[in-house]
Amino acid sequence: MTSITRPEVAHLARLARLDLAPEELDHYAEQLDVILQSVARISEVAADDIPPMSHPIPMVNVFRDDVVTPGITRDEALAAAPAAEDDRFRVPRILDEE
């Protein structure tokens, strides 16, 4: 497997919404490379015909009855908001002006 480069780390940081400092990019490029080389050993295992396991208990489509039960109120939900306005979460600009 190939080694991970600084531009790749910068790309990952963008995908993960992490505003990393330049020195962090260098540091993580080095560390992620070491970790990835270590975990890459799993490729030694011949597993072509082995089914992947996403979850320890094979359960699918677990539903409860669709009954209304008490939940948290609007005020409780907004109480922890970094910013709220008009009974809503206030968030930064999402769309460009035009």
Partner 1 sequence: MNDLTRQSAAVLADAIATKAVTAVEVTQAHLDRIASVDGKVHAFLHVTAESALAQAQAVDAKVAAGTPLGPLAGVPLGLKDVLAMKGEPTTAGSKILEGWRPPYDSTVVARLRAADIVILGKTNMDEFAMGSSTEHSAYGPTHNPWDLDRIPGGSGGGSAAALAAFEAPLAIGTDTGGSIRQPASVTGTVGVKPTYGGVSRYGQIALASSLDQPGPCARSVLDTALLHAAIAGHDPRDSTSINAPVPDVVAAAKKADVRGMRIGVVTELMGDGYQAGVSQRYAEALDTLRELGAEIIEVSCPHFEYALGAYYLILPSEASSNLARFDGMRYGLRAGDDGKNSVEQVMAITREAGFGPEVKRRIMLGTYALSSGYYDAYYGQAQKVRTLITRDFNAAFEKVDVLVSPTAPTTAFKLGEKLDDPLAMYLNDVATIPVNLAGIGAMSLPIGLAPEDGLPVGMQIMAPAMADDRLYLAGGALEAALTDKWGHLLIEEAPAL
CB of 30 to partner 1, least distance (A): 11
Q: Which two tokens stand for residue 96?
A: 């460009």
Q: Indicate whether 16 belongs to the interface with partner 1 (CB under 8 A).
A: yes
CB of 68 to partner 1, least distance (A): 14
Nearer Cβ to partner 1, position 64 or 68? 64
**CB half-sphere exposure, 88, CA atoms < 13 A:** 4
For residue 32, give every residue at least 6 positions away whose Cβ sits within 8 Å of its Cβ, in sequence order, or none: 4, 9
Q: Indicate whether 86 belongs to the interface with partner 1 (CB under 8 A).
A: no
Q: How many residues does the chain have?
A: 98
Of the candidate residues 23, 59, 86, 98, the single one contacting partner 1 (CB under 8 A): 59
CB of 55 to partner 1, least distance (A): 5
Backbone angles phi, psi at 42, to 5 degrees: -60, -20
